Amino acid sequence: MRGRISTLAATAALYLALAPSSANAGPLVGFRTGVGFTGGKIEGSIRMADRASWTTPVQLEAGWRFGDSLSLTAFGTFSAGHLDSDYSDFCDTNQASCIIDQTRFGAQGQWSFMPGERFDPWFGLGVAREVLTVDYSSPASGTTTSLRGWDFGAPPR
């Protein structure tokens, strides 16, 4: 694994040293939002969709564009979960406050194969530290479950 990271770092350094300067090189700042649909399981057998049916993510990012093709950015995302109707009814019945949210911090890179063209295929890769929090607080009791992990994947475009 260490050898792959060293090779990747050396390749990136070589590209940066040899990359032609471009009018498109420079700082990048971004803001994204949208709607996300939940999937997967939490705590083994509980489906995430049984707690939050959808989310509203807000992402801020900052980075650098190296020439026309390569960009690297760091980002932070906060997503508020919108409770599934059955879970919301359960919380209301128990006079509980139920909150679900997700926070992610990471870095991502993108390579554009045909920059400036109408059809521009691209490849991206990212890594993030993710924290999912499910908070249930009632007059009788309360629990907070925080699940942490790493997320590896392609960044959104």
Task: Tell me: pLDDT of 142 over 90.
Answer: no
SS (H, E, C) 39-58: CCEECCCEEHHHCEEEEEEE
Predicted local confidence at residue 57, as pLDDT: 92
C-beta atoms surrounding 32 within 10 Å: 12
Q: Which amino acid is at 14?
A: L
Predicted local confidence at residue 72, as pLDDT: 93
**Cα-based angle 128, 105, 126 (whole degrees, multiple of 5):** 35
Predicted local confidence at residue 2, as pLDDT: 61
Q: Name, in order, each residue with C-beta under 8 angstroms of 118's C-beta and a sequence gap of 6 or more.
A: none
Q: Tell me, rounded to whole angstroms, the distance of Cα 130 from its chain centroid.
A: 8
Q: Which residues is 111 bridged to in the sheet?
A: 70, 123
Contact call for residues 68 and 24 (beta carbons, < 8 A): yes
In whole angstroms, what is the distance from residue 59 CA to residue 31 CA?
6
In whole angstroms, what is the distance from residue 100 CA to residue 81 CA?
5
Predicted local confidence at residue 90, as pLDDT: 87
Q: What integer is the mean pLDDT of 72-82?
A: 93
In whole angstroms, what is the distance from residue 58 CA to residue 72 CA?
19
Q: Between 156 and 109, whose confidence is greater?
A: 109
Element (H, E) at 87: helix 85-93
Name the pLDDT band for 61 (thresholds 50, 70, 90).
very high
* Prediction pTM value: 0.71
SS3 84: coil
Predicted local confidence at residue 121, as pLDDT: 92
